[in-house]
Amino acid sequence: MANDKVTRRDFVRTGAAASLAATVVASASSASDAEDVAAKEDQETLANGMPYGTIGDLKISRLILGSNTPGAHSRDLIYVSALGRAYNTPERMLDTFELAESQGINTLLQGNAGLIRQYNTQRGGHLRIIQPVSVAKNDDKASIKRTLTGAMTNDLAAAFYIMGDRGDYLARANRMDLAGTAMEVARELGVLLGIGGHSLEVPIQCEQLGIKPDFYVKTFHDDKYWSATPKENRVPFCWYDDVGGNSYSGKTRDHNRFHDNIWCLDPEKTIEVMRTVEVPWIAFKVLAAGAIYPRQGFGFALRGGADFVAVGMLDFQISENAALVKRLAAGLKDRERPWRA
């Protein structure tokens, strides 16, 4: 146990975490519990420079920790998921959460609730989750209310969103009206609800129907990486149909077709559509599962109009990625879409 503590201490003290940890400890010795929380928030803002936005009354870091860990979205690299699970032991995940919070990250998209709760309890963390929920094309208002009420029992959930594949299915079935029903229920329950999708049809149909979610969770990355499906072969909803493989991952033997390798089929049109959207936008899959360098992917997403980027990260990637988002957000001069959060 002693060795564990030394390792954890050394880990947190790397990079910018050292000055933050010292500042937080100093304040804790002289503040009450309530004052300590407020002081810690102020110190984080000053010490790490992480930019924040708001969804409803939630203050959310522009960089959100994605749910790739402890496994990984590995695509063709069949060993990577197993490697990720072997590397990300429970103790390392707690260290990862600690490092993320030290860099100003305060929110996860999805995430392992058990490990996050353990981290918050054992290490005094304050991480919370934007939790996915499912709305199916045969649901009604009563079943949607049961789904949301059940999700609300998770004490870590600060907000909820209709997960990406559910949003896609609703759009493909022309039942996006159910997303509107879900928004009605969410507002009756007093919770924040977003709408997710890989397909651009999700926000397009919502906007056409006058549905105004509290935020969108939409894939966004450019198509300049080697494995991107050729434009002429990009089929709407290719993730689910026979052309793409008829499965969630959509793997096929046809090299020119979708093979779990592109989740934003038309980035230019995405920029155009989202430019007029008036609610916050969380962009995810911005690095195309590691096919795009963070400097390129983060810059493309933030300049293209995203208000937040959700990224799955290993521990050694967090400090560098956080520093990059801080620099980009502070120096953006060519962003056409106003910040919506």
Task: Give residue 83's pLDDT.
Answer: 87
CA 111/CA 127 separation, integer angstroms: 10
CA 330/CA 101 separation, integer angstroms: 20
- Helix intervals (H) in the chain: 2-12, 17-28, 33-48, 80-87, 90-102, 113-123, 141-151, 164-172, 177-189, 201-209, 267-275, 294-303, 315-331
Closest residue by Cα to residue 131 from 97, 166, 102: 166
For the chain, the first-to-last Cα distance in angstroms comes to 43
Closest residue by Cα to residue 63 from 338, 275, 306: 306
Task: Give residue 4's pLDDT.
Answer: 42
Map out the domains of the chain with their CATH numbers: 1-48 (no CATH), 51-227+262-331 (3.20.20.100)
**Whole-prediction pTM:** 0.85
Q: Is the dihedral of CA 315, 320, 323, 325 positive or negative?
A: negative
Q: How far is CA 144 from CA 195, 220, 255, in A?
A: 14, 28, 39
At 16-74, the pLDDT tens digits run 343 333 333 333 333 344 444 444 544 444 347 999 999 999 999 999 999 866 667 77
Task: Give residue 311's pLDDT.
Answer: 95
Task: Give residue 2's pLDDT.
Answer: 39
Task: Give residue 109's pLDDT.
Answer: 95
Helix-, strand-, coil-residue percentages of the chain, each rounded to 5: 45, 15, 40
DSSP string, 146-177: HHHHHHTT-TTEEEEEE-HHHHHHHHHTT-TH
Task: Give residue 260's pLDDT.
Answer: 83
The neighbour count for residue 142, using CB atoms within 10 Å, is 9
List, for the chain, all residue ranges whose pLDDT scores fall below the cut of 50.
1-39, 41-47
Closest residue by Cα to residue 67 from 201, 164, 170: 164
CA 227/CA 221 separation, integer angstroms: 13
